Structure 1
Amino acid sequence: MRILIVTHVVRKNDGQGRVNYEIVLAALAAGHSVTLLAAEAAPELVQHSQVRFVQVPTSRLPTKLLQYQMFAWRCGAWIRAHRNEFDVVHVNGFIAWARADVNAAHFVHHGWYRCGFYPFRLLHSLYHAYQVIYTLLNIACEKWAFRHAEVIVPVSQKVAGEVRALGIGEARVQVIHNGVDTGEFTPGAPERARFNLPQAPFMLLFAGDLRMSRKNLDTVLHALVRTPPDVHLAVAGILHNSPYPALVESLGLTQRVHFTDMVMDMPALMRSVDAFVFPSRYEPMGLVLLEALSAGLPVITVRTAGGAEVIARGSGIVLDDPNDAAALAVAIEHLAREPDYARRLGLAARAVAGTLSWQVMAERYLSVYEQVHARRTSRELPAACATASAEL
């Protein structure tokens, strides 16, 4: 097949970019040719003989709102000019003003806006007003993009529900969970000294954006106050402009919370802790949650996190309310006080991750491509025969 993938970035160290990166690798291994219409692509892909990289220049317009619209306009114009060169056109959400065969839904702004935890208010400030306008515009654009794609591929059942809420029929929706590198994220010897973590305490890990309330570190900190003093927390994420160091100090947790800032070697950090906590107030399908499962960590998460749906009974703890610090504290203490229970959860988590490898994910995307291509071929063949008959 001749495949076109349209995205902003295709590389390993990016969430959505990693998904597309793995799809490209699988497509090349299967003998397909791939064109990447993107702003940036990994050098090892660009240099491959079966890859064509069409770079879309980054706009210098002010605000991401205008920059993304310019990107979508440029991509749409290119696709319309070259559509007949491809058997499958794969886009990611709203990224181009053009029809597509496959649209991978990694995030649905309508779901985020309606989830109950959306933090912005139109009349609160200029910044809030901009965020609301940005979200509402994305909602309209995503509706258009989903309605102009043959198949929508949500990254979780949670996202699938949000796609259907936009009026998309069930028959056009095929869920494919994101993948994880089960060879890279694996249990192993801890390296706490490398991350300036104390050796003795039971160590939780929280990883995510520390500038937004959506990831819900505040509830984790309030839960930590309710746990014994020998339970500590490592926090991985960019600290610049984060309000959480001040909150840690106000709660009297300075000796128990260890900020690592951005960590490039997340597998080593995960091997150095005892459990992973991820009570995100809204999450389509967090890669970091899958990575924790693969690392064999007992995981505590919540139903508002899309990744929670892959956790079967006995392979993790899934709480109902992301804001319930008391329930979170009980779950944390259960793990800290019962090492055999924590160990069983970790082993089961690792088994779950084994069913969610990047290879499994990529092969499922290729299967969708083949279905789309087969349907397109079956539609075009009668038309071609009719044209040939008319000419005779």
Structure 2
Amino acid sequence: MRILFVTPEYHQDGGTERSIYMLSHRISENNTVDIITSRFTHEPTSSLNIIKVPRIYGVMAARFLFFRFISDLLIFYRKLRYGFSYDIIHSTSADSGLANIVTAHFCMKKHYQLRKKSVSLLSVKDIHGFLREITLRCFMLIVSWLEKRCFNHRRTKRIIAVSNSLKNDLIHEYGVSPEKIDVIYDGVDPERFCPDDSNNIRKDKLTQLGIPLESIIVLFVGGDWERKGLIYLLKAFQNLQANNVHLLIVGKGDVNLYQALSADLNIFRSNIHFLPFDVRIEQWYNAADIFVLPSLYEPFGMVALEAMSCGLPVITTSRSGISEIIKNGYNGIVLHDPEHIDILTMTLRDLIENPDKREQLGKNARTSALKYTWQQITSETLSIYQETGKET
């Protein structure tokens, strides 16, 4: 098959990006794959070709619409000029108006509604913050409208949702037919994301940060810290009052704001560490004892699956799609509401004080994660491609 992926970002810096990167790379082993993208780190091969769209800077909505317009224009041009015809055009979200397969990693309308509830325009402190919030909401409304149009268009034959909860969101928020949606969870590479039995990585990382080796390390990984509930983790961390517990926050976010929040919560500065995203993220999993993702809205949560694959006990919430593969108390812990700080604190303290429980949860998590390899996810995706080809 000749397959085209359309995605603005083609690298491994984030969950959505890593998902499409790994999937397309696997599919290219036995198929010809083209990638239309603005930013990439993968060099072209004989079976995987990169088609670059110019990247513009400025307002998010303008970047999104520019990429979408140019991508569709390129598809038309290549077909007319060179006769390129694709069996499958696979886009992420509404990034193309010509896709017949779409992977939904998000429901922007659901996110918009949650943001309206959690962030009041009247609470914004200055004019710059007010304008940023207005711009963000305009972007979210544009994407919501395009997602609804894309997901319901007759050209879109199948939608792959990364969790059952996201499937339900697409049905309820956009009126998508349930028969049109398949659920395929994101995958993990168990050879890359695996426990480090030697503990050498942990020693190197903790020494690098000046953390005593006997400390308990709580890890948070991700961007969009407000949606992922970092403030609730900080409040729970404040309640712990444990000098031997360190919190590592890996990813992109407003570091200055959250450092100020940490200071307001009287958290020892030496016990909280803000770190930029690292492409070798598996090393930070192997440096940790507990992984926490207390999200307010998380359609899946690939970082939690990667943590499970590395043998970490995971604490997350029922608002995360990853909770669908976690049996509470067996291979992880699922909290109902991240805003219940006392329950999050109690859960953290229980794992900190019980190393045997941490170990058993981690072992079970590793076993569970092995069911979601990229080989399995690729096989399921190719089956959908073949069915779509028969329909067309």
Relative to the length of structure 2, the TM-score reads 0.88
Q: 1:180 maps to what in 2?
A: 188
2: CA distance between counterparts of 1:80 and 1:109?
Answer: 28
Match of 2:71 in 1: 75
Report if aligned partners of 2:39, 2:55 keep a CA contact under 8 Å in 1: no
Deviation per CA, 1:21-46: give whole Å up to 9, x if none.
2222222222x1112222234443x1
- Cα pair distance change 1:40/1:291, threshold 3 Å: same
Contact (CA 8 Å) 1:22, 1:359: kept in 2 or not?
Answer: no
Paired residue for 2:86? Answer: 86
Based on CA coordinates, which of the two structures has the bigger radius of gyration?
1
User: Retained in 2: the 8 A contact 1:120–1:129?
Assistant: no
1:226-375 aligned within 5 A: 226-229=239-242, 230-238=244-252, 241-254=255-268, 257-264=271-278, 265-313=280-328, 314-375=330-391
The answer to whether the 8 Å contact 1:156/1:284 transfers is yes
Q: For the Cα contact (< 8 Å) 1:4–1:34, is it kept in 2?
A: yes
Q: State the 1:84 CA deviation.
A: 6.7
Distance (Å, rounded) in 2 between the aligned partners of 1:250 and 1:277? 22
Q: Equivalent residue for 2:212?
A: 198
How far has the Cα of 1:239 moved from its partner? 6.2
Note the aligned Cα RMSD (angstroms). Answer: 2.1
Shift of 1:212: 3.8
1:59 aligns with 2:72: no
Unpaired stretches in structure 2, ≥5 consecutive residues: 125-129
Structure-2 change in CA distance of 1:79 and 1:358 (3 Å): same
* Structure 1 letter corresponding to 2:139: Y
Are 1:18 and 2:18 an aligned pair?
yes
Q: Could you list the structure 1 runs, at least 4 aligned residues long, displaced by more than 6 angstroms after superposition.
A: none
Aligned length: 370
Residues 153-200 of structure 1: CA distance to partner in whole angstroms, max 9, x if unpaired? 111112111111211111100011111221122111122213332222
2:132 & 2:252 partners in 1: Cα distance? 21
1:133 aligns with 138
Matched residue, 2:39: 40
Equivalent-residue separation in structure 1 for 2:215 and 2:50 (angstroms): 49
Task: Give aligned-pair identity as a percent.
Answer: 28
Aligned partners of 1:117 and 1:214 also within 8 Å: no
* C-alpha separation in 2, matches of 1:159 and 1:346: 26
**What is residue 215 of structure 1 aligned with on the other side?**
228
The residue type paired with residue 68 of structure 2 is A
Distance 1:128 1:305 in 2: 24
> What SS does the corresponding residue of 1:180 show, helix, strand or coil?
coil
Structure 1 CA distance for aligned equivalents of residues 218 and 237 of structure 2 = 10
Once residues 349 and 89 of structure 2 are traced to their aligned partners in structure 1, the CA distance between those partners, rounded to angstroms, is 49
SS at match of 1:29: coil
Deviation at 1:255?
Answer: 5.2
Distance in 1 separating the partners of 2:88 and 2:300: 25
1:11–1:222 CA distance, 2 compared to 1 (3 A): closer
CA apart distance, 1:3: 0.9
| Alpha-carbon separation, structure 2, partners of 1:226 and 1:52 | 51
1:50 and 2:64 are equivalent in the alignment: no
Contact 1:28 1:50 in 2 (8 A): yes
Moved more, 75-84 or 336-345: 75-84
| 1:146 counterpart letter in structure 2 | F
Quick one: structure 1 residues 134 and 302, their matched pair in 2 at CA, closer, same or farther if it must change by over 3 Å? same
Q: Distance in 1 between the 2:288 and 2:47 partners?
A: 42
Segments of 5+ residues of structure 1 without an aligned counterpart are 377-392
Does the Cα contact within 8 Å between 2:245 and 2:271 map onto a contact in 1?
A: no
Work out the CA distance in 1 between the residues paired with 2:111 and 2:221.
20
Please say if residues 195 and 260 of structure 1, whose CA atoms lie closer than 8 Å, have aligned partners that are also in contact: no
Tell whether the 8 Å contact from 1:284 to 1:305 is kept in structure 2 after alignment.
yes
Alignment partners' CA distance in 1, 2:37 and 2:74? 11
Change (3 A) 1:220 1:139: same
CA distance in 2, matches of 1:14, 1:373: 30
Q: Deviations over 1:128-163 (max 9, x none)?
A: 211111111111011111112110111111211111
Q: TM-score, normalised by structure 1?
A: 0.88
